[in-house]
């Protein structure tokens, strides 16, 4: 069977929806009502068959009564599977916990606030199958439905993180479709200070994005304060790689060489009589050489710290997945 036949109607794609829940008391029920039609077999615009087989609600100990709503939804729908975290661990940790608890061929992560339209899951799936992409992000047609300061700061943060971390972060959003085998493998290695999208980049190639609907949230306000957003930004920079440490390392080696060369130039100038101030040459040589050696040592330390950071992040040496010839993106039964 060729890929086109397999991916346009001959294969039923099962999807697990993961929703981290922090303040979902008023938004969860309307959001699930929008997902509910996809509990039955549906067809995308291109003709791909899919069904939402499970909705994983991860309770992250928010300040409202989300737990009551989760229990009510789980009792009413066999597809809803609650996950109870011991305390508040944050959105990324809750999302990873939910991903690890799925069993479907595809995993979709979606926010609890309703800013993402579940109907766009079909768009994500079409984009994934069209280019055989294991990871697809939903990109807002305009600015996300947040306060203006948050949208502006988010753009600045992404540019800074891209510059410091070296990764292409422009398409990162919390509305994602990931091949289940890839997602669960990454979830097994994702550490406490690792940004989820950075971790996904470790084992996923061929990332794509598709334009999705932009709409207002189903609740008032946001659970993110400036300090929490700043913490996310710093986690993003640290988990995208060791480029900041490599910058420090490069500066250390560069200034060490400049220091030695400057010391040689000063010594030659003194011997030629170009410098007549007593003591200036010796002091300059000592400063250039000693500071150069200090910066050289700092560069070496930065290299070691970079290696330790990779180990602390839990970045795997390899990631095993299912045979790519089979499954949702394959061309064999």
Asked whether the beta carbons of 184 and 100 are under 8 A apart, the reply is: yes
Domain check: are 196 and 307 in the same one? no
Residue 264 lies in a domain: yes
Residue 331 lies in a domain: no
Domain check: are 84 and 155 in the same one? yes
Domain check: are 229 and 274 in the same one? no
Asked whether the beta carbons of 218 and 23 are under 8 A apart, the reply is: no
Helix, strand, coil % over all residues of the chain, rounded to 5: 50, 15, 35
Query: Domain range for residue 47?
Result: 3-239
Report pLDDT for 159.
Answer: 63
Residue 320 lies in a domain: no
Domain check: are 179 and 85 in the same one? yes
The CATH number linked to 116 is: 3.90.550.10
Domain check: are 68 and 184 in the same one? yes
Domain check: are 109 and 253 in the same one? no
Residue 176 lies in a domain: yes
Residue 322 lies in a domain: no
Q: Which of 198, 219, 239 is the last residue of a domain?
A: 239
Q: Report the number of distinct structural domains present in the chain.
A: 2
Domain check: are 165 and 280 in the same one? no
Class of residue 45 by CB neighbours under 10 A (exposed 0-12, middle 13-18, buried 19+): exposed
Q: Which helix (H) or strand (E) holds 274?
A: none
Residue 325 lies in a domain: no
Domain check: are 210 and 252 in the same one? no
Q: What is the pTM of this model?
A: 0.72
Domain check: are 288 and 257 in the same one? yes
Helix axes of 91-100 and 180-187: crossing angle, nearest 10 degrees: 120
Domain check: are 39 and 126 in the same one? yes
Q: Which of 180, 214, 239 is the last residue of a domain?
A: 239
Residue 327 lies in a domain: no
Residue 127 lies in a domain: yes
- List, in sequence order, every residue forming a beta bridge with 331; answer none if it has no partner: none
Tell me the two tokens of residue 48: 């791909």
Tell me the two tokens of residue 67: 């737990």
Domain check: are 16 and 80 in the same one? yes
Domain check: are 304 and 225 in the same one? no
Class of residue 295 by CB neighbours under 10 A (exposed 0-12, middle 13-18, buried 19+): buried
Report pLDDT for 3.
Answer: 47
Nearest CA among 88, 92, 318, 57 for reference residue 190: 92
- From first to last of the 333 residues of the chain, give the pLDDT tens digit: 344 444 556 789 999 999 999 989 999 999 999 999 999 999 999 999 999 999 999 999 988 899 999 999 999 999 999 999 999 888 888 999 999 999 999 999 999 988 889 999 999 999 999 988 999 999 877 655 555 545 555 566 666 656 655 555 556 788 999 999 889 988 887 777 677 877 787 777 778 999 998 777 765 655 555 566 566 566 666 666 666 667 777 777 787 788 788 888 888 888 888 877 777 778 877 777 787 778 778 777 777 777 776 666 666 666 666 666 677 877 555
Q: Which of 214, 239, 264 is the last residue of a domain?
A: 239
């Amino acid at each position: 069977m060729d890929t086109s036949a397999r991916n346009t109607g001959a294969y039923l794609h099962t999807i697990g929806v993961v929703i981290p829940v922090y303040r979902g008391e008023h938004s969860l029920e309307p959001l699930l009502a929008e997902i509910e039609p996809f509990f039955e077999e549906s067809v995308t615009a291109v003709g791909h068959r899919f069904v939402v087989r499970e909705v994983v609600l991860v309770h992250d100990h928010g300040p409202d009564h989300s737990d009551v709503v989760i229990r009510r939804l789980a009792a009413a729908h066999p597809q809803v599977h609650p996950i109870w975290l011991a305390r508040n661990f944050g959105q990324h940790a809750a999302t990873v916990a939910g991903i690890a608890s799925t069993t479907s061929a595809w995993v979709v992560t979606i926010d609890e606030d309703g800013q993402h339209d579940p109907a766009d899951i079909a768009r994500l799936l079409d984009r994934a199958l069209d280019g055989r992409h294991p990871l697809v992000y939903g990109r807002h047609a305009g600015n996300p439905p947040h306060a203006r300061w948050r949208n502006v700061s988010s753009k600045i943060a992404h540019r800074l993180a891209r510059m410091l971390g070296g990764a292409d972060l422009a398409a990162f959003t919390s509305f994602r479709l990931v091949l289940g085998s890839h997602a669960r493998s990454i979830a097994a290695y994702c550490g406490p200070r690792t940004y989820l999208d950075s971790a996904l980049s470790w084992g996923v190639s061929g990332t794509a994005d598709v334009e999705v609907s932009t709409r207002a949230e189903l609740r008032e306000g946001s659970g993110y304060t400036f300090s929490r957003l700043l913490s996310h930004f710093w986690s993003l920079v640290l988990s995208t790689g060791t480029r900041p440490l490599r910058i420090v390392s490069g500066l250390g080696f560069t200034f060490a060489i400049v220091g030695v060369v400057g010391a040689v130039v000063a010594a030659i100038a003194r011997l030629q009589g170009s410098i007549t101030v007593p003591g200036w040459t010796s002091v300059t040589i000592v400063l250039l050489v000693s500071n150069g050696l200090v910066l050289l040592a700092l560069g070496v330390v930065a290299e070691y710290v970079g290696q330790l950071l990779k180990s602390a992040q839990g970045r795997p040496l390899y990631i095993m997945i299912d045979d790519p010839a089979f499954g949702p993106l394959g061309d064999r039964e």
